[in-house]
């Protein structure tokens, strides 16, 4: 008899649970949720966002480990009297970004050895933004080639222009006179593989150009400190005072 009364009282308590009571009694809410049937995998997928139903969201584009991106706003202090960015200031920014890329790969301080010919396609005015991207194309023994791409844009209109492209050579410097052996660079994308293969040919051309310049400088007459005189003309005697 006692068990029947306890079962009846338990049913009355369960029937007396309302949403209002659930809000004021957290323990009752836990009991109520425990009686709910578990959700199946299909129910979870149906309620998931579309980007989760289609798998993982599209990953961000992979950035090479040596890539450095830098943006600079052109201020009046960077321009000349015509309100245009000076070439020297732009070269300084390019060298800074390229040096950061080289040091990121080498893991030690690097110095600029040379920079190939640069052709500026457009002028950059005050108020525009300069975007510089630099990354190592190939590493050799202790030197490496860094590719530099420069563009500029107007923030209000969204217009963009390609400014110039350049290739710089940096040399890694160890502590003291210790030589640094750079680790090889492994290209991943098709574009990186092309730049990696062409970098060796550009290095060969630089070395040949360097030897040519040495030969030309060796053939040039050196300045001995005496003024050149016309052939057949006798040297003038100094007058005593």
The SS3 call for residue 85 is strand
C-alpha count within 13 angstroms, C-beta hemisphere, residue 82: 7
Instruction: Report the DSSP beta bridge partners of residue 152.
Output: 130, 161
What is the C-alpha to C-alpha distance for residues 139 and 161, in angstroms, rounded to an integer? 30
Tell me the pLDDT of the chain averaged across its residues.
77
Helix (H) or strand (E) holding 68: strand 68-73
Q: Give the mean pLDDT of 5-29.
A: 50
Which residues have a Cβ under 8 Å from the Cβ of 62 and sit 6 or more positions away? 188, 189
* Confidence (pLDDT) at 180: 87
Q: Give the mean pLDDT of 139-160.
A: 95
How confident is the model over 54-101, as pLDDT tens digits?
443 444 455 558 899 999 999 999 999 999 999 999 999 999 999 999
* Confidence (pLDDT) at 224: 52
Confidence of residue 121 (pLDDT cuts 50, 70, 90): very high
The SS3 call for residue 33 is helix
Ramachandran angles phi, psi of 196, nearest 5°: -65, -40
Report all structural domains of the chain as residue ranges with CATH numbers, in order of start.
68-217 (3.10.129.10)
How confident is the model over 185-230, as pLDDT tens digits?
888 899 999 999 999 999 888 888 888 888 888 888 776 555 455 5
DSSP letter at 125? B
């Amino acid at each position: 008899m006692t068990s029947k009364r306890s079962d009846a009282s338990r049913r009355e308590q369960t029937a007396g649970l309302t949403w209002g009571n659930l809000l004021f009694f957290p323990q009752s809410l836990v009991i109520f949720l425990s009686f709910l049937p578990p959700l199946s995998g299909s129910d979870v997928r149906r309620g998931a966002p579309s980007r989760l139903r289609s798998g993982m969201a599209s990953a961000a584009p992979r950035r090479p480990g040596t890539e450095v991106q830098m943006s600079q706003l052109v201020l009046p202090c960077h321009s000349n009297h015509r309100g245009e960015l000076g070439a020297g200031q732009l070269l300084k920014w390019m060298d800074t970004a390229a040096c950061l890329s080289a040091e990121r790969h080498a893991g030690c301080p690097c110095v600029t050895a040379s920079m190939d010919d640069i052709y500026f396609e457009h002028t950059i005015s005050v108020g525009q933004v300069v975007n510089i991207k630099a990354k190592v194309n190939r590493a050799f023994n202790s030197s490496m080639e860094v590719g530099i791409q420069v563009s500029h844009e107007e923030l209000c209109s969204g217009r963009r222009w390609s400014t110039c492209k350049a290739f710089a050579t940096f040399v890694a410097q160890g502590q003291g006179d210790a030589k640094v052996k750079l680790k090889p660079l492994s290209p991943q994308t098709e574009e990186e593989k092309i730049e990696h293969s062409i970098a060796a040919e550009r290095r060969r051309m630089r070395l040949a150009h360097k030897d040519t310049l040495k030969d030309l400088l060796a053939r040039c007459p050196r300045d001995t400190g005496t003024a050149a005189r016309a052939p057949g003309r006798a040297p003038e005697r100094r007058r005593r005072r």
